[in-house]
A and B are shown apart, each in its own frame.
Chain A
Amino acid sequence: MSLMLVFALVFVIGAVAFFIGRQRAAAHDNGKVKPHSRAHYHGWWAFLLATLPALLLLAIWSIGSSVYLNSHINGQLPAQTAESAIASRTLAASLTKSLANGLRKLEPEAANNLPATFTELQPMLAARGVALAPDTQDYMIPIAVDANRTQDTMQLIGGVLVLALAVAGAVFGLSKIKVRARARNNVERLILWGLLGASTIAILTTVGIVLSMLFQSINFFERVPFFSFFFGTVWDPRFAAAGAGESAGQFGLIPLLAGTLYIALVAMLVAVPVGLMSAVYMAEYASPKVRAVVKPALELLAGIPTIVYGIFALVTLGPFLRDLSAALAGGTSFIQAQSILTAGLVMGVMLIPVVSSLSDDIITAVPRAMRDGSLGLGATRSETIRKVILPAALPGIVGAILLTASRAIGETMIVVLAAGVAANLTLNPFEAMTTITVKIVNQLTGDLEFNSPQTLVAFALGITLFFLTLIMNIFALYIVRKYREQYE
């Protein structure tokens, strides 16, 4: 019995329980005793009793049976595979598994008299659109057949058990229907647990992020010393050729960190003055008409995906700056097409709406009385803004700037396309530098081997990035929150 069929049948049983339950509860309501819950709550309670335990069992059974099947296959693999390296043993197991999956695609007749060798079997499978690794061995065929048979039995037993549990749940639920039964409270309690469960997903995600990166990073630091990662000044990971053993690459974080911070700095130099001034103008000067046009336009700027900015930098701005510098210097261009300046400029523009919308909220939150007081004492509007409003809003603005800076540090697509891949250490903004995010993408696209430091370093970079932004975010949120309390 396939998983989907069992799943569907459980729901059918649940639906039947719902309808019977609702009808029974309605029949109980004879007008003499006031029923505790309305009829459909009884139906829902019966539905939940029928489905939830059954689905839980289904989940446990399918996980359990796949674990059992794995050990079953492993146990049958011949001894010589067991003696060789563990990697080839797991490989043999996975080959057997994909062979077993492939055999399921065959016609029943062909499956009943299988050839004994893989060379004969392969064309039959290929005809059904199943491509298998050529190093599949002959001895795997009987194991695969046996695995399929075991799997079928396990599924049949599991399916019967699950369906029996569903029916039992439904019968139990239906038997509990009485006029004063508290069906609504039962249903609502379950819903509440569901709501709580949904809200813990945020915690689970954070835990997942931290744990997954931590494990891989620990793996990485077993191969590369902690100190030479965080304080190394050379980034040269050198991809090892397959099977050539581990070549010692150098994984120095410093050039990447420097590039990340430098590009973020250039971006902030563009975004903060421009964004802040736009926010001030929009909040204090702009007429409602101008606001109605400009605000959506700035929101549009914020809604453009970062890949589009990156491509603009790569295709238009980068070559333009290069040609411009060539024209200025008379021939040789001193700005490279991929440079800190290009990436920083474009990222800065991307961040303008972020700064402006965050600081807009903060500026408008400054109480009216402070404005009126300053204007009433004869200050001009700009003096009021510079000497009263901005100082009052300063903590909030600092928070906004920190949040923006964490966006700049974690930004990926713009720098992947516009900043270059060479890990230089330079102060010249016209040259290319690379960032942490670029290197994460570089190390993880293409073929992956989860046991080489070249792949694992991406997780060490990722956890560095995560904690860098985490500290900035928490600090920013703390400042913003503390500031808000002052006026409310």
Chain B
Amino acid sequence: MTDISMDTVAGAVPRPRRDIGLKRRYAAERRFRIYGMLAISVGLIFLAIMLFSIVSKGYTAFWQTTVSLPINFDEKILDPDNKRATDPSVLISANYPKLAENALVAKLGINPDDKVTIRKLKGFLSDGARTQLRDVVAADPSVIGTTRNVDILAAANLDSAFKGQIDLNVDEARRKVSDQQVIWMKQLTTDGSMAERFNTGLFTFGASSRPETSGMGVAIIGSFYMMVIVLLLALPIGVAASIYLEEFAKKGRLTDLIEVNINNLAAVPSIVFGLLGLSVFINFLGLPRSAAFVGGLVLTLMTLPTIIIATRAALAAVPPSIRSAALGLGASKMQMVFQHILPLAAPGILTGTIIGLARALGETAPLLLIGMVAFVANYPTTPFEPATALPVQIYMWANEAERAFVERMSGAIIILLIFLMAMNITAIVLRRRFERRW
């Protein structure tokens, strides 16, 4: 527009242009464009903020503070009456925390008779020390009477303090770590026995009321069982249904009814599937509550429409010439489908299946209704035993009050997102790699 005005200035007689509101219209055009860019940035900025907020809260969950202590497995404490040869249960109920406490007292150089100071040690080490030391003894009973270095978990509050998440300038009465404990913490840090180590417990522990000994081992196994069940059921059933609808079904009432049902099921709220599972699988068929098997069945029903829609698109994309060629060479219709169409449609089917599985992995609501919100401390050995799932574990940690659980929860979200991203990227790569243009 500047060019035009320069031009008119240079001309001898400026010819008046008819005002068609060009300026206004171009400004509107620019505004419209900016609105579009703003809209996209809103989504992207929100994505960035959300990921940042989760990662910044959760990355510390992958490290856990431990104290390396020379534990003296004192026979006098573990087995004072020397009965373990006849009664092995002595070693199960023995006073293991005392061992850890003694070691800590010696390490910090506290006078063993100073009961008042020793009492302040309460809440320094995790209560999980009991099981930790018991497992050491159970694995190797000959350790009794000797001294061995063991990395004992620090309590959750100490862990938070060590990671700098507790503001130590706050008045002592209003924080969960006492001044004395902070001094000890610094003492242990300088001599190198207190340090952060990679938190394997986050991946292996089951449910626990203490943050430092709770992990998502049970949830990972439960989710794994469910994914296997969904894959084993939804993929064959979905592919079979799609083949029927796409290749064999004649236009008619039944076919229409099935199609309307599939399209509608794809849009039914997921919680409704939970109600179905509760009332049919658990209440009517009497399957166990909280079991991964029931969760898998519910998620299968939920995933089926996704897989069917993707598979039908993949089957429809195979050109008719392939069908004609196969039939022309004397193949039966069934042979044509299974030997020619299906292999060509496989990448599309696989992509749809992975996306369906990813959605099932992140689904929470229906699992809440079939009782997967459960405190499960032990690994389920079969899919019929109580288990939890990754997103349900996240939900349960979200309902805990303690700060350390928020850290664990964010860590669990990071892991869930990594799983989902890996699945989605696999799907995208598969699609790119095997996509054919006919």
Q: Does chain A have a CB within 8 A of B10? A: no
Instruction: Give the docked Cα–Cα distance between A410 and B275 (Å).
Output: 13
A276-312 near B? 1/0 per residue, CB < 8 Å: 1110111001000000001011111101111111111
Q: Does chain B have a CB within 8 A of A469? A: yes
Within 8 A of A (CB), among B251-279: 257-258, 260-265, 267-276, 278-279
Provide the residues of chain B in CB contact with A353, threshold 8 Å. Answer: 43
**Contact indicator A206/B267 (Cβ below 8 Å):** no
Q: Does chain A have a CB within 8 A of B94? A: no
Q: Report which of B36, B54, B284, B406 forms a contact with A212, defined as CB distance below 8 A.
A: B284
Instruction: Give the docked Cα–Cα distance between A286 and B354 (Å).
Output: 29
Q: Does chain A have a CB within 8 A of B29? A: yes
Provide the residues of chain B in CB contact with A281, threshold 8 Å. Answer: 33, 36-37, 39-40
Total residues of chain A contacting the partner, CB 8 A: 88
Within 8 A of A (CB), among B157-174: none
Instruction: Give the docked Cα–Cα distance between A207 and B121 (Å).
Output: 62
Provide the residues of chain A in CB contact with B270, threshold 8 Å. Answer: 410, 412
For A320, the closest partner residue in chain B by CB is: B53
B100-139 near A? 1/0 per residue, CB < 8 Å: 0000000000000000000000000000000000000000
Q: Does chain B have a CB within 8 A of A191? A: yes
**Contact indicator A199/B258 (Cβ below 8 Å):** yes
Looking at A294, A314, A380, the one whose CB has the most chain B CB atoms below 10 A away is: A380
Instruction: Give the docked Cα–Cα distance between A273 and B50 (Å).
Output: 21
**Contact indicator B50/A308 (Cβ below 8 Å):** yes
Provide the residues of chain A in CB contact with B409, threshold 8 Å. Answer: 311
Known A-B contacts A277-B39, A285-B36, A459-B275; A202 and B241 likewise in contact (beta carbons under 8 Å): yes
For B37, the closest partner residue in chain A by CB is: A281
By size class, the interface of chain B is: 35 or more
**Contact indicator A441/B271 (Cβ below 8 Å):** yes
Q: Report which of B42, B248, B398 forms a contact with A314, defined as CB distance below 8 A.
A: B398
If over half of A's interface residues share one DSSP class (helix, strand or loop), that class is named, otherwise mixed; here it is helix
**Contact indicator A441/B365 (Cβ below 8 Å):** yes
**Contact indicator B395/A277 (Cβ below 8 Å):** no
Interface-side segment among A223-231, A236-244, A368-376, A401-409 = A401-409
Looking at B26, B269, B368, the one whose CB has the most chain A CB atoms below 10 A away is: B269
Instruction: Give the docked Cα–Cα distance between A385 and B36 (Å).
Output: 12
**Contact indicator A312/B39 (Cβ below 8 Å):** no
**Contact indicator B268/A209 (Cβ below 8 Å):** yes
Provide the residues of chain A in CB contact with B434, threshold 8 Å. Answer: none
Instruction: Give the docked Cα–Cα distance between A321 and B373 (Å).
Output: 29
Q: Does chain B have a CB within 8 A of A138? A: no
Q: Does chain A have a CB within 8 A of B420? A: yes
Q: Does chain A have a CB within 8 A of B232? A: no
For A38, the closest partner residue in chain B by CB is: B335
Q: Does chain B have a CB within 8 A of A437? A: yes
Q: Does chain A have a CB within 8 A of B240? A: yes
Q: Report which of B37, B272, B416, B421 forms a contact with A466, defined as CB distance below 8 A.
A: B272
**Contact indicator B391/A440 (Cβ below 8 Å):** no
**Contact indicator B269/A469 (Cβ below 8 Å):** yes
Looking at B39, B257, B424, the one whose CB has the most chain A CB atoms below 10 A away is: B39
Provide the residues of chain B in CB contact with A477, threshold 8 Å. Answer: 260, 263-264
> What's the minimum C-beta distance from B295 to chain A, rounded to whole angstroms?
15
Provide the residues of chain B in CB contact with A440, threshold 8 Å. Answer: 271, 275, 369
> What's the minimum C-beta distance from A232 to chain B, rounded to whole angstroms?
21
**Contact indicator B267/A444 (Cβ below 8 Å):** no
Q: Does chain A have a CB within 8 A of B184? A: no
**Contact indicator B268/A469 (Cβ below 8 Å):** yes
A-B contact count (CB 8 A): 254
Q: Does chain B have a CB within 8 A of A205? A: yes
> What's the minimum C-beta distance from A25 to chain B, rounded to whole angstroms?
17
Instruction: Give the docked Cα–Cα distance between A249 and B271 (Å).
Output: 24
**Contact indicator B269/A410 (Cβ below 8 Å):** yes
**Contact indicator B275/A212 (Cβ below 8 Å):** yes
Provide the residues of chain B in CB contact with A277, threshold 8 Å. Answer: 35-36, 38-40
For A466, the closest partner residue in chain B by CB is: B272
**Contact indicator B25/A413 (Cβ below 8 Å):** no
Q: Does chain A have a CB within 8 A of B283? A: yes
Q: Does chain A have a CB within 8 A of B362? A: yes
For B264, the closest partner residue in chain A by CB is: A473
Q: Does chain B have a CB within 8 A of A188? A: yes
Q: Does chain B have a CB within 8 A of A198? A: yes
**Contact indicator A205/B368 (Cβ below 8 Å):** no
Q: Does chain B have a CB within 8 A of A203? A: yes
**Contact indicator A205/B39 (Cβ below 8 Å):** no
**Contact indicator A212/B269 (Cβ below 8 Å):** no
Q: Does chain A have a CB within 8 A of B198? A: no
Looking at B36, B243, B305, B363, the one whose CB has the most chain A CB atoms below 10 A away is: B36
Q: Does chain A have a CB within 8 A of B316? A: no
Provide the residues of chain A in CB contact with B28, threshold 8 Å. Answer: 380, 382-383
Provide the residues of chain A in CB contact with B46, threshold 8 Å. Answer: 301, 349
For A472, the closest partner residue in chain B by CB is: B267
Q: Report which of B243, B275, B391 forms a contact with A195, defined as CB distance below 8 A.
A: B243
Instruction: Give the docked Cα–Cα distance between A275 and B284 (Å).
Output: 43
A442-479 near B? 1/0 per residue, CB < 8 Å: 00110000100000001100100110011001100100
Provide the residues of chain A in CB contact with B53, threshold 8 Å. Answer: 312, 315-316
Q: Does chain B have a CB within 8 A of A274? A: yes
A27-41 near B? 1/0 per residue, CB < 8 Å: 000000000000000
30 sampled A-B residue pairs with Cβ under 8 A: A191-B334, A195-B241, A195-B248, A196-B244, A198-B240, A205-B261, A209-B272, A212-B276, A277-B36, A294-B40, A301-B47, A303-B421, A303-B424, A305-B362, A305-B364, A306-B362, A309-B50, A311-B54, A316-B53, A352-B42, A352-B43, A380-B26, A382-B33, A410-B270, A410-B272, A413-B395, A440-B369, A445-B371, A459-B279, A470-B268
Q: A282-B40, A444-B274 are in contact. List 17 more A-B contacts (CB 8 A).
A: A188-B332, A202-B261, A206-B265, A209-B268, A301-B47, A304-B362, A305-B362, A309-B50, A349-B42, A407-B269, A410-B271, A413-B364, A441-B369, A459-B275, A465-B269, A466-B272, A473-B268
Q: Which residues of A contact B (CB under 8 A)?
A: 184, 188, 191-192, 194-203, 205-206, 208-209, 212-213, 215-216, 273-278, 280-282, 285, 294, 296-301, 303-312, 314-316, 349, 352-353, 356, 380-383, 385-386, 403, 406-407, 409-413, 416-417, 437, 440-441, 444-445, 450, 458-459, 462, 465-466, 469-470, 473-474, 477
